[in-house]
Amino acid sequence: MFKRSLPQDENVTPAGFKFVYQEPATVKPKRARTVLQPLTPQVMEQARISWMEKRSQNEKSVQELSLSKEIQAKDDEQKESTRRLEFMDDCLKQAGYKTLGEYMNDLLSTRDRQLSSKVSQTLLVHGNTILGNISHRQPQLVDNYSFSRVEDVLVREAQAVVALMQPSGLDLASRLQQFSLEQALYQSSLTAPNLHRLLCLLVGHLDGAETTRKKKDVVSVLRLVRFTY
């Protein structure tokens, strides 16, 4: 009788069978051959133009990035400044000051030695910047105040020049005999520095040549004499 064999499970490895795994052979990609072009003047000029364009694009990108960072930094600085100003405004209100003007008047007119010294030092260092900011916001106010101050200073210095040019106890002849051009300019620069500088600016003394300096000195003295006679 023929003996029928049972089917084997496909997941069961038959006895005596050994499976060996072989890795597939790696195929190296073919490299494209580099074809050298002759260095003709046209090729060199085209390469130079291409390099300049890339360089210009890189510089433009760097400038745009730098400008963007600068704008962002200024914006952050402005926000921080606004935050500090708002904080100080709240502090002034908590201290009892209703307006900023009240605080500024008290600060500039304080009799406390330590605070007064600090205010004076601050004005010495930052005074020009503060005046510039005030002039930028209220130019007419600053111009009117400056004119009144200049007027007071010139009147006071003109009176000092009159006393210098007209010494008591001397008649006109004695004054003319003792008059010295160099001495008159030197004494006027000490007695009335602002008036002296103004007259020098009017005659172009400060930026004049050495050959015309004596003539301009004469004009300056004549203008000073007109204030006194």
> Residues 134-158: pLDDT tens digits?
999 999 999 999 888 888 888 888 8
CA distance 139 to 203: 28
Confidence (pLDDT) at 209? 45
Does pLDDT of 211 surpass 50?
A: no
- The answer to whether residue 17 sits within a structural domain is no
Quickly count: other Cβ atoms within 10 Å of residue 196's Cβ. Answer: 21
pLDDT number for residue 2: 47
As for how many domains the chain has, the answer is 2
Contact call for residues 202 and 223 (beta carbons, < 8 A) = yes
- C-alpha distances out from residue 23 to 20, 26, 27, 85, Å: 10, 9, 12, 74
Identify whether residues 208 and 145 lie together within a single domain. yes
Does any domain span residue 12? no
Q: What is the pLDDT of residues 161-210, one digit of tens each?
A: 877 777 776 777 776 777 776 777 777 778 888 887 887 777 666 544 44
Looking at the structure, tell me whether residues 93 and 152 fall in a common domain: no
The answer to whether residues 221 and 147 belong to one domain is yes
More confident residue, 163 or 3: 163
Neighbour count for residue 92 (Cβ, 10 Å): 14
The reply to whether 164 and 97 lie within a common domain is no
Residues 99 and 151 in one domain: no
pLDDT at 83: 94
pLDDT in tens, 95-111: 999 999 999 999 999 99
* Residue 81 domain flag: yes
Q: Tell me the residue ranges of DSSP E strands in 50-143.
A: none
Co-location of 95 and 151 in the same domain: no
Residue 25 lies in a domain: no
**Higher pLDDT residue, 104 or 224?**
104
Alpha carbon separation from 21 to 24, 26, 39 (Å, rounded): 9, 15, 54
Last residue of a domain, one of 109, 126, 157: 109
Average pLDDT over residues 223-227: 53
* Rounded CA separation 125/142 (Å): 20
Q: Is 23 part of any domain?
A: no
Cα 153 to Cα 218: distance, rounded to the nearest angstrom = 24
Per-residue pLDDT band for 5 (boundaries 50, 70, 90) equals low
Higher pLDDT, 135 or 211: 135
Structural domain includes residue 99:
yes
Do 150 and 224 sit in the same domain of this protein?
yes
What percent of the chain stands above pLDDT 70? Answer: 72
Query: Is the pTM for the entire model greater than 0.85?
Result: no
pLDDT at 126 over 50: yes
* Residues 216, 151 share a domain: yes
Q: Which of 109, 131, 157 is the last residue of a domain?
A: 109
Mean model confidence pLDDT for the chain: 79
How distant is the alpha carbon of residue 99 from its chain centre?
30
Q: Specify if 205 maps to a domain.
A: yes
**Residue 98 carries which side chain, given as an amino acid letter?**
K
In this prediction, residue 222 carries a pLDDT of: 53
* Poorest-pLDDT segment among 31-45, 103-117, 158-172, 204-218: 204-218
Q: What's residue 18's pLDDT? A: 63
Do residue 208 and residue 152 come from a single domain?
yes
Please report where in the chains the tokens 């790696």 appear, as a residue.
26
Q: Residue 87 above 90 pLDDT?
A: yes
Residue that finishes a domain, picked among 87, 109, 131 = 109
- Residue 183 sits in which domain range? 141-228
Confidence (pLDDT) at 195: 81
